Structure 1
Amino acid sequence: MKKSALLMMLFLALATACSSGEDKSKELFQTAQLEENQNNIEHAKQLYKEIVTKYPKSKLAKQAQERLDSL
């Protein structure tokens, strides 16, 4: 019983860590878009680069790289 509870806690911790990476990349992407729309291109680039570097497997990494390439 204790072993299964420990495994469940470990699974939940890993699931939370993975989802927080997606959440963070989404937050960064939205901020980068806002900066881009406000003509703060250098800051937008910095945020897109952060997504590509820190969260390369996130759903938004490819879009962030595409925005970098077009800026």
Structure 2
Amino acid sequence: MSNGWTPERRARQAAMIQRWKPWQRSTGPKRDEGKAVVSRNADQGGMRFLLRSMARDLREQQKTHRELA
């Protein structure tokens, strides 16, 4: 593999992670500042959907305008 992770290394790492179970010790942010940052994680990429939707609406409007003209 180009990233240096062979299938054996990947399997060994997966086994170690299953043994460590870091997700059981993960508590998330504790301070209000950290919670505010994390609350915006889901917002990433939302603007692209809005722009595509607007572009689609504009194309439809232009098509209708050309048909009426």
Which structure is richer in relative contact order (CA contacts within 8 A, separation 6 or more)? 1
Largest Rg, 1 or 2: 2
Per the normalisation by structure 1, the TM-score is 0.42
Per the normalisation by structure 2, the TM-score is 0.43
